[in-house]
Structure 1
Amino acid sequence: MKKTTIFFLSILLLALLVFYNLQVVMVFAGRFIYPLDDAYIHLSMAKNFAEFSVWGITQYEFSSATSSPLFTFLLAILIKVFGNWEYIPLVANSVAGLFLVWVSHNYLKQFSKLTYTIFLFSIVLLMPLHLMIMTGMEHVFHTLTMILVLLAFKKYLEHQTPRGFSNLALLAIVATGFRYESLFFIFFMCVYLFFIKKEYFQSIALGLFAMTPVLIYGWISLDHGSFFLPNSLILKGNTNHGFVGFITRMAGNGFRGISVLILVLILIAQIFIKAKSQKLWMDKISKNAIPLVVFFGFSLHLMFANFGWLIRYEAYLVVIVLFAIAPFADSVFQKKTGNIILKTEIIVFLLVVFCLRFIPMVKNQNLASKNIFDQQIQLADFLHKYYKNSKIVANDIGAITYYNNIHLLDTYGLGSIEVAKRRKDEHGKFTDSKNLQDYISNTSKSQDFDIALVYDSWAHMPDYFTKVGTLAIQDNYICGGSTVTFYSVKKENAEKLRSQLVQFSKEVPKDVSIKIIN
């Protein structure tokens, strides 16, 4: 079978996986529902920027709620051109996914047919690519641009032409714009150019180019009274709980990212085996330029970024490591009298990663979409029916803002900078933050908010709020909590809200339970 045929088979497999998951979600929802509420955060911000020129989760104020400014900006352009359609991220990701498979094909076709086949299908299945497409998030674009950065870096090291450097610098800017974690790897590219290649100007220039999206976005955010970094990085990063918290979270990252760690073991073996054949330290390093950049970049991600949450945060790492170990695996596979143990270990490790990443997602991806449909979409529908232009207190904010025109007080802080500042000062605390509770209480009263729909475990509501009812879902996998509590901010409107919940309870899916509190 020719490699071109294998390439088209991988595309067909990807299309079948996407189609299958679309059909499963359509059965219970009647339409496709993204498996993460964060996808609707991107959509809401993109819609507001395209239609109202406001970079925010609502049209009424600036909010740095996106961790991927370039992806949100791309969606805004597409909405401006094609109109506000909720499936724009799905289509855009599908196109980027096809490009990723095509780039992988062009890179892997230099190797044997066995290596080509194993690694091309590994990229599709171990990422898994269909899941990242269907999240409606930025991860496919980020992975694609990071692979292009690595290939551009490799090409520049081989030829060192001005055009090669300009391509590398441009791709570094784009990759950082999609996710700031790109800087982990670009930093070590700069280190390599500075200390190993002695290209001081190129090293500094590459770092400055890569930092451009961070600096521009940070300046805009500060100018609007927000943080230099996006709110999500400030509130979710691995530096909010002191040294002990840092170590604990890093250990948790290692546990959640065990599938990537398994691949990194192959990367480490590759580095040591290639270095062993070189006598000089400089040669040991230069022969492992790409693997070392990938290893140290992964290490920074382990320390300072996140893993898990629908296995999306580390998805790009899987593909990057696969690219880095492909040449080594090819040399192992082609040795007729080589180390059979090493050959077996590579195959076994890839199969273990398949079992850890792909197989669980066959169920969990659709369960996540079911959770979002049962909770976030129902909340959005409730607000659209009764409060679509009202002032709402909430702490999971994607679908409810995308499908409505509400004013928002976000008790988590992604969409409300004053809340984010208080949570940052309290090191991300929720229920035990008196400062945060006082702010929610005073703001809700002074700005005449109507209702609250929140996870009680995320933030205590003021005593003058009236608890009216709850919405609970079954088999929660992805939502911030299985139960959302409804409060009437104004006591005199509690009975009205209670009546609305009674009426709405007749319209929700059978797996959703609405209970009224008298």
Structure 2
Amino acid sequence: MALPFSLVLYGLAIWAELRGALTLTGGEFVYPLDDTYIHMSLARTLALHGVWGITPQEFSGSSSSPLWTLILAGLFAAAGANAYIPLVLNVIAGAALVFVVDRALSPGLHAAWRLAATSLIVFAMPLPTLVFLAMEHVLHALITLLFVFAAAAIYRGETVRGRVAIVAALAFALVGARYEGLFVVIPVCFLVWARHGLRPALVIGAAGIVPVVGYGFFALSQGGFFVPNGLLVKAVAPLLGHPPPEGFHSRSPVLPLWFLIALSAVLLFDRTDRRARFLHLSFLPAAGLHLGLAATGHLFRYEGYLIPLGVVAIATQVAVFGFHPRFYTNASRLARTLFWALIVAPFLIRGGMAALITPRACANIHGQQVRMARLVHARLDEGAVALNDIGAVAWFGAVPILDLAGLGSDDVARLRIQGRFGPEAIRPLIREHGVRLAMLYDSWFRGALPPEWTRIGEWMTPDNVVLGDARVSFYAVDPAAAERLKRAIDDFGGAESGGD
């Protein structure tokens, strides 16, 4: 009976967050991150125009999940560009994740403990929030588990030849879903190599590299970069001494992940079997690589895929051998109770924070990005707009866009990587794209904007929990058009008057 209860819990958690979000947005469903609309816009453009870009005008390497983009584009082409399709996919993927975890633990773990494990994953991942993000993260977590479970069967000595093809296919899908999938593929390849030799490990590793290389050569053929713009602007540029705009990194509590790492490491040296050892040795290096090389946070999404893997690794061993580290078996009952309270508390805090933040994040996107998109669509139907958060405007606004953050405009990304981003570099791009209006966070562009731009107003969004800045400023690129643009904004619903 653990699985039905787990699915009901999962459904209730989603319902609670949905109800909270709709209350704050006046009954209108809005995703809690602008990035969701970036994926949707990219998939729509690909489905309707055959262009890999935010708008039909140009290619842009805006997605770090080629597989998710292709899935969405296929569904948009077949069923129309419906904004609810990504949400439905994520609800299904989340239910599948709960099912897979329950089935993986069912051979040796009591139903009550399986329910506890799946509940921990639902709350601490946190699964409802990642479902509401409606991007690739839940699918990525699901494929991660399927990949590791399939590879564990090889490691245990079961039939290798037929299973290598399955594991290789899952490696391809895992990295195609998110490049962080390589953090899991790498240790699995070494484990397979140690157990069965180099050839199957090379096959699995090569399959994991194919999405990276395939996308890279495709992007180069379109005039883009070998890796997606987000990775370049957020990761590569800082290594070259050119930091990304402020606000690109938002942290979330990762203490639960550190606790899982500590427990997994302790249990690895306790009594274990081959399957549990494989799961530990897959999880620990993957978590270390992620924490060392990748980001965490921004609504809990980046590290979320590791939590199910860590919980399953620990629960698999406990199911067979119990929990018997020396420090624990020698402790009093009170000390054991305090130990588990200390372990569980960060998971509950992370889940509670997610439940509180997600509806407010929906309200933030509704009050800023969606409002900007409707302004552009209703009042500013001539020329392009310059932005730093492009998703909602691209999805709802249907106008040409110049992304001054660099995620949706390769020319800007190139300038940022080269350290040449500034007024002199921006001016020709503005002319080339026919930009009339810029809607930007001043905090992201200190000293970088052309001084001749006229600031014509600003919007403030209260109770900001997810926006790069609560204050978005409006600029007339051509001072001669400032009064007309300001009047259009005021007629729409008003920017607070402001000038420098």
* TM-score of the pair, normalised by structure 1: 0.88
Q: Could you tell me which residue of structure 2 aligns to residue 135 of structure 1?
A: 133
Match of 1:320 among 309, 314, 335: 309
* Corresponding position of 2:482: 494
Task: Report how many residues are paired.
Answer: 486
Deviates more, 1:51-60 or 1:352-361: 352-361
Match of 1:36 in 2: 33
More divergent stretch after superposition (219-228 vs 446-455): 446-455
Which gives a bigger RCO, structure 1 or 2 (Cα 8 Å, sep 6+)? 2
Match of 1:15 in 2: 11
Structure 2: runs of 5 or more not aligned: 244-248
Match of 2:175 in 1: 176
Distance 1:266 1:82 in 2: 46
Partner residue of 2:373? 380
1:185-334 aligned within 5 A: 185-194=184-193, 196-237=194-235, 240-241=238-239, 256-274=253-271, 288-331=277-320, 333=322
Deviation of 1:239 after TM superposition, in Å, equals 7.2
TM-superposed CA distance for 1:494, in Å, is 0.5
Q: 1:49 aligns with which of 46, 50, 74?
A: 46
Larger CA deviation: 68-77 vs 349-358: 349-358
Does the 8 A contact of 2:295 with 2:302 survive in 1? yes
**Structure 1 residue 198, shift from structure 2 partner:** 4.8
SS in 2 for 1:470: strand
1:370 aligns with 2:369: no
CA-CA distance at 1:516 after TM superposition? 4.3
Please state how far the C-alpha of 1:406 moved relative to its aligned partner.
Answer: 1.5
Residue pair 2:168, 2:204 contacting (<8 A) in 1 also? yes
Q: Give the alignment partner of residue 398 of structure 1, picking from 351, 366, 391.
A: 391
1:482 aligns with 2:479: no
- CA distance in 2 between partners of 1:347 and 1:120 (Å): 17
Structure 1 position 24 matched with structure 2 position 10:
no
Q: Given that residues 274 and 287 in structure 1 are in contact (C-alpha distance below 8 angstroms), is that contact kept between their aligned partners in structure 2?
A: no
Once the 2 structures are TM-superposed, how far is the Cα of residue 390 of structure 1 from its aligned partner?
A: 2.7
% same residue: 30
Cα drift, residue 114 of structure 1: 3.7
Which residue of 94, 98, 103 corresponds with 1:97?
94
Contact 1:388-1:405 at 8 Å conserved across structures: no
Query: Among residues 424, 432, 441, which one is paired with 1:438 in the alignment?
Result: 424
Q: 1:256 to 1:388 in 2, by over 3 A?
A: farther
- 1:131/1:274 CA distance change after superposition, 3 Å: same
- What is the rounded CA distance, in whole Å, between the counterparts of 2:58 and 2:389 in structure 1? 17
For the residue of structure 2 that corresponds to 1:409, the secondary structure is strand
**CA distance, structure 2, for counterparts of residue 166 and residue 267 of structure 1:** 29
Distance change in 2, residues 1:368/1:254 (3 Å): closer
Deviation at residue 28 of structure 1 after TM alignment? 3.2
Q: Secondary structure at the match of 2:18?
A: helix
- For residues 297 and 104 of structure 2, the distance between their equivalents in structure 1, rounded to whole angstroms, comes to 28
Alignment counterpart, residue 448 of structure 1, candidates 419, 431, 434: 434
Runs of 4+ in 1 over 4 A off after TM superposition: 252-256, 331-335, 340-346
- Mapped to 1, the partners of 2:228 and 2:171 lie a distance apart of 19
TM-score normalised to the size of structure 2? Answer: 0.91
Instruction: Tell me by how many angstroms 1:113 deviates.
Output: 2.8
User: For the residues of structure 1 that align with 2:369 and 2:28, how far apart are their CA atoms?
Assistant: 14
Q: Contact between 2:62 and 2:407, CA under 8 Å: does it hold in 1?
A: yes
1:413 aligns with 2:390: no
Choose which of 115, 122, 128 in structure 2 pairs with 1:124.
122
Report if the CA contact (8 A) 1:267-1:324 is conserved.
yes
For the residues of structure 2 that align with 1:442 and 1:14, how far apart are their CA atoms? Answer: 51
